[in-house]
């Protein structure tokens, strides 16, 4: 008899699913997307937005009075698009389909139409909305920007394995160079419904589930989703979804070369007067070395390196959601990262919680208690 692959004997998680728990993938998804293509934002001040973007490590592809397109050094389309607007906001995510036929298939299955993307991007898109109200574009056939020279990883002497003799280690204190967009994290008042929508429509599969301690029987409250590329490995998460009192963007993450790039790039951002939210540390779910920053509009963005890649054979891991369980090493998760710093953000979230608790969604008093325990556990 063929044994299923055991993902839990020290391979990636201490716990697997219990009988009857969420399987973490749809039986017959409409399409299987290949990757996250780009994120779209609105911001009032594109000059300020670009200054931060350059210090963070992006390269500007396009700059007009009304639009900014930013890229990493990897080949492909821009990874961030910012349009000028009176107020700042997250507009939505674009996911890359395997080909234009998959975009058409998704349009037909959802009763939408395939539209051409602007000439600056090329290709086509189908515009959908997830159950949390977030805009989701699925795209294909865009122009491929050629690869740019990137940072080179350092040669490390590790104990007896000597790779560097008669040579020094001098990482320059310069902006890290962003290679590519890695993932986006979204919060939802309809987490499970939204999760199931992504599994069914985009063919994403769950790498790890988190549950509130003492509430596992009520189901998960966070999931890290990867692309199903068959035997080709994919990032541990391309999208993460979490239950919360409002529907909102949480953070997005951009890959840089290595720990030196994360650390020296961070020193550069501090020198420029930007604000670190939380870091440097190493995550558990996904294993990335991380460093979180606040951009001038208050959006949380992450530099990361050395993340896990899984093929489609691993089953979801299960773990309780705790603040201390967010990292293997590093400083304790900050109030800013956890979203509990007193201020307008917290006030907005508290107001949202009051109306969400009265509404028809998945966030109730029991879940609020579970969430409040996370920060102190």
Contact stretch for Fe ion (CB under 5 A) within 33-41, 108-116, 270-278, 301-309:
301-309
Write the secondary structure of 337-373 as one string of H (helix), E (strand) and C (coil).
HHCCCCCHHHHHHHHHHHHHHHCCCCCCHHHHHHHHH
Determine the 3-state secondary structure of 237 from DSSP: coil
> Cα separation of 255 and 285, whole Å?
16
Of the two residues 77 and 285, which places its CB atom closer to Fe ion in the complex?
A: 285
Q: Binding residues for Fe ion, how many (CB under 5 A)?
A: 2
On whether the CB atoms of residues 68 and 109 are closer than 8 A, the answer is no
Task: Report the nearest approach of Fe ion to the CB of residue 288 (Å).
Answer: 7
Task: Report the nearest approach of Fe ion to the CB of residue 185 (Å).
Answer: 6
Task: Report the nearest approach of Fe ion to the CB of residue 275 (Å).
Answer: 17
Give the side-chain half-sphere CA count within 13 A for 221.
26
List the structure tokens of 17.
């699913």
Task: Report the nearest approach of Fe ion to the CB of residue 123 (Å).
Answer: 27
Of the two residues 237 and 367, which places its CB atom closer to Fe ion in the complex?
A: 237
> Cα separation of 197 and 191, whole Å?
10
Contact stretch for Fe ion (CB under 5 A) within 173-181, 245-253, 338-346, 369-377:
245-253
Task: Report the nearest approach of Fe ion to the CB of residue 72 (Å).
Answer: 16
| Angle CA 208–263–43, to nearest 5 | 75
Task: Report the nearest approach of Fe ion to the CB of residue 345 (Å).
Answer: 18
Task: Report the nearest approach of Fe ion to the CB of residue 251 (Å).
Answer: 6
On whether the CB atoms of residues 241 and 225 are closer than 8 A, the answer is yes
Strands 317-320 and 135-140: unpaired
Of the two residues 142 and 319, which places its CB atom closer to Fe ion in the complex?
A: 319
Assess 319 for contact with Fe ion (CB under 5 A).
no
Of the two residues 80 and 103, which places its CB atom closer to Fe ion in the complex?
A: 80
Assess 300 for contact with Fe ion (CB under 5 A).
no
Contact stretch for Fe ion (CB under 5 A) within 25-33, 64-72, 171-179, 252-260:
252-260
> Cα separation of 143 and 279, whole Å?
35
Contact stretch for Fe ion (CB under 5 A) within 45-53, 90-98, 300-308, 348-356:
300-308
Task: Report the nearest approach of Fe ion to the CB of residue 237 (Å).
Answer: 8
Of the two residues 235 and 302, which places its CB atom closer to Fe ion in the complex?
A: 302
Q: Name the nearest CA neighbour of 178 among 107, 261, 237.
A: 261
Q: Name the nearest CA neighbour of 12 among 280, 310, 238.
A: 310
Of the two residues 208 and 302, which places its CB atom closer to Fe ion in the complex?
A: 302
Orientation of helix 46-56 relative to helix 259-271, angle to 10°: 140
Task: Report the nearest approach of Fe ion to the CB of residue 347 (Å).
Answer: 25
Of the two residues 202 and 253, which places its CB atom closer to Fe ion in the complex?
A: 253
Task: Tell me the C-alpha to C-alpha distance, in Å, between residue 100 and each of 135, 168, 321.
Answer: 19, 49, 38
Of the two residues 260 and 302, which places its CB atom closer to Fe ion in the complex?
A: 302
When CB distances to Fe ion are compared, the closest residue is 253
Task: Report the nearest approach of Fe ion to the CB of residue 11 (Å).
Answer: 21
Of the two residues 136 and 300, which places its CB atom closer to Fe ion in the complex?
A: 300
What beta strand segments (E) does the chain contain? 35-43, 59-63, 67-71, 80-84, 89-96, 114-116, 124-129, 135-140, 180-188, 205-211, 222-226, 234-235, 239-243, 248-255, 275-283, 289-294, 300-305, 309-310, 317-320, 327-329
Contact stretch for Fe ion (CB under 5 A) within 8-16, 113-121, 242-250, 299-307:
299-307
Of the two residues 181 and 253, which places its CB atom closer to Fe ion in the complex?
A: 253
CB count, 10 Å around CB of 294?
A: 17
Assess 253 for contact with Fe ion (CB under 5 A).
yes
Give the side-chain half-sphere CA count within 13 A for 90.
24
- Summarize as ranges the residues that interact with Fe ion (CB under 5 A): 253, 302
């Amino acid at each position: 008899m063929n044994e299923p692959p055991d993902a839990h004997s020290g391979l990636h998680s201490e716990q697997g699913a219990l009988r009857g728990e969420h399987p973490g993938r749809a039986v017959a998804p409409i399409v299987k997307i290949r990757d996250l293509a780009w994120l779209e934002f609105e911001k009032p001040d594109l000059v300020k937005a670009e200054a931060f973007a350059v210090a963070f490590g992006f390269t500007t592809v396009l700059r007009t009075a009304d639009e900014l397109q930013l890229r990493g050094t990897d080949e492909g389309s821009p990874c961030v698009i910012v349009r000028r607007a009176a107020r700042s906001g997250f507009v939505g995510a674009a996911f890359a389909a395997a080909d234009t036929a998959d975009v058409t298939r998704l349009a037909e299955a959802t009763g939408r139409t395939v539209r051409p993307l602007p000439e600056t991007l090329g290709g086509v898109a189908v515009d959908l909305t997830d159950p949390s109200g977030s805009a989701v574009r699925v795209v294909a056939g865009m122009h491929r920007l050629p690869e740019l020279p990137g940072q080179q990883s350092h040669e490390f002497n590790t104990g007896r394995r000597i790779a560097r003799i008669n040579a020094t280690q001098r990482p320059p204190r310069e902006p890290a160079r962003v290679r590519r967009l890695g993932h986006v994290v979204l919060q939802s008042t309809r987490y499970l419904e939204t999760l199931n929508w992504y599994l069914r429509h985009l063919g994403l599969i769950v790498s790890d589930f988190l549950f509130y301690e003492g509430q596992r029987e009520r189901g998960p409250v966070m999931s890290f989703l990867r692309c199903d590329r068959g035997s080709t490995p994919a990032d541990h998460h391309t999208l993460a979804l979490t239950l919360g009192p409002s529907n909102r963007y949480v953070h997005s993450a951009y890959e840089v070369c290595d720990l030196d790039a994360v650390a020296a790039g961070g020193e550069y951002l501090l020198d420029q007067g930007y604000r670190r939210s939380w870091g440097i540390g190493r995550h558990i779910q996904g294993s990335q070395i991380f460093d979180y920053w606040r951009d001038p509009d208050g959006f949380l963005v992450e530099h990361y390196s050395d993340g896990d890649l899984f093929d489609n054979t691993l089953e979801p891991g299960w773990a309780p959601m705790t603040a201390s369980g967010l990292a293997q090493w590093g400083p304790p998760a900050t109030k800013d990262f956890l979203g509990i710093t007193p201020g307008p953000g917290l006030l907005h979230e508290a107001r949202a919680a009051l109306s969400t608790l009265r509404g028809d969604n998945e966030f109730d008093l029991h879940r609020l208690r579970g969430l409040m325990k996370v920060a102190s556990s």
